[in-house]
Amino acid sequence: MTFTHALVRKRWAYFSFVSMLGLFYFLTMSEQQLLLAAEDGNGESIADEHIIIFMAKSAGIVFGPLLFFVSLALTALIVLLMLDLRLEKSIPPAFVEEFTATVNARKFREAFELARNNDSAVGRVLTAGMSRLQYGIDDAREASMNMLESIRSSKEQLNNYTAVIGTLGPMLGLVGTVYGMIESFKVLGAGGSPKPAELAKGISHALVVTLLGIALSVPAIFFNAFFRNRITSIAIDTGNIADDLLTQMYHNSKKAAPAGPAPAGAPAAPVPPTPPPGR
């Protein structure tokens, strides 16, 4: 579990570093690009400004970088969950085959060490179940299901941040809308004949920030539902395979002869109950 947390922190640090580099590039280069796009060689404004440049200018120096940073965080989350929620990562076929062959050969100590040294979800679930196998199959299944639920909860907690971003996007858009309308009404309330350019500036800010906020929430909501279903599917498959392997080991251990003292935490063959005297 410690190795998994360290790997997750390393990935988060990597994606955070990339996100900060992208944000720094955006902040340092956007102003120069906007000035080049807004003026020609004689310093005159260009009427047919590109829509991307116009939206970047309308978003402003506050909401533009803020939404850009949130979008980078969403991208990092999606990539991280895509890498983590792979079936072959949670249930490695090579590990399942090796574990099955080891159990069939009645090498239970080697099977326990194999599962304990494997960082996949099925390896962690099997380790928790085998450590309680000496107390019976029911107790082992309960321990393995508790570990499976713990793994599932940790992945769901990470996926919840996509739902937060999906809710945060429209809220940021709403704040930008209110701010843009305030700017427009400020121009109208100044008296006299309002300048269309100044009036359009506040309205465009309101519309652009709203559009960007909604555009940010659409993929966040989609991937939240996608990853939630993915987590459920992987948890079911992991639980079924771990239960099959645990049951197979239990029945093989009942037929195996004891081979010396077992290491601490290793599963032991269940002892059959002693019949009452007189029978």
pLDDT (average), residues 72-97? 92
* pLDDT value at 199 more than 50: yes
Res. 24 pLDDT band, cuts 50 70 90 = very low
pLDDT exceeds cutoff 90 at 228: yes
Task: Give the pLDDT of residue 133.
Answer: 86
* pLDDT reported for residue 94: 92
Identify the bridge partners of residue 45 per DSSP, sorted by sequence position.
39
More confident residue, 67 or 256: 67
pLDDT above 50 for 256: no
Name the one residue in this structure whose structure tokens are 């990562």.
Answer: 89
Share of the chain above pLDDT 70, in %: 72
The verdict on pTM exceeding 0.75 is no
